[in-house]
Structure 1
Amino acid sequence: MMMETRLQAALVNLSGLGAVVRFDMGDDGIYTIDARAAQPVLSTDSDATADCTIRISTENLNKLIDGQLDPMLAYTFGKIKVSGSLGIAMKLVNALG
């Protein structure tokens, strides 16, 4: 399944996050989720100011969404890099998992 479709399906779990989060997957692209409103919005806008940016490979993001990758271990081993609010990143990961 395409990453955009997978993230779109996960939006329902992100209402109430109250933040803008960017997934930077390098050459595979950038997705920004604006979850400040009741209905979160997914876009490929890389210019929006994000509260938190998560750098992760497409493969690892798929594993994270599937629950096959422990977010804390992935962060510890550098498979996930977070810039900005770590608290928002943790809320996001809990909502996705």
Structure 2
Amino acid sequence: MTLQEIADQISSKASGSGFSRSVKFDLGGEGTILVDGESVSTDGGDAECTISLTKDDMESIISGDLGATSAFMQGKLKVDGDMSVAMQLSQIL
């Protein structure tokens, strides 16, 4: 899955979700995905919360093969910034 395909999947879930915060997914050398409310882009930028993980783990979370909470507990993703924003991501992931 390309970075844009991942962003498109998140965008389809964010549309109409009521998510109103900003979060950046830092996929290392693969790039970043910025979710700002219901808007999703691969341009990067500032966000209330940054979640760092690998592209493979992001794909697994989106497909439902890996739960975000499990990934956090296993150290597969790190959260910087406002943790309450990360907790609201269940609306779009």
Given the two structures, how large is their TM-score scaled by the length of structure 2? 0.83
Identical amino acids, percent of aligned pairs? 31
Give runs of ≥4 in structure 1 deviating > 6 Å: none
Aligned length: 91
Whole-Å separation in 1 of the counterparts to 2:77 and 2:62: 13
Whole-Å separation in 2 of the counterparts to 1:29 and 1:16: 25
Mind listing any 5+ residue stretches in structure 1 that lack a counterpart? none
TM-aligned CA deviation for residue 26 of structure 1? 0.7
Greater relative contact order, per chain length (Cα 8 Å cut-off, separation 6+)? 2
TM-aligned CA deviation for residue 3 of structure 1? 2.9
TM-aligned CA deviation for residue 70 of structure 1? 1.9
TM-aligned CA deviation for residue 41 of structure 1? 2.1
Whole-Å separation in 1 of the counterparts to 2:36 and 2:81: 15
Alignment partner for residue 87 of structure 2, among 69, 87, 90? 90
Mind listing any 5+ residue stretches in structure 2 that lack a counterpart? none
Partner of 2:33: 31
Given the two structures, how large is their TM-score scaled by the length of structure 1? 0.80
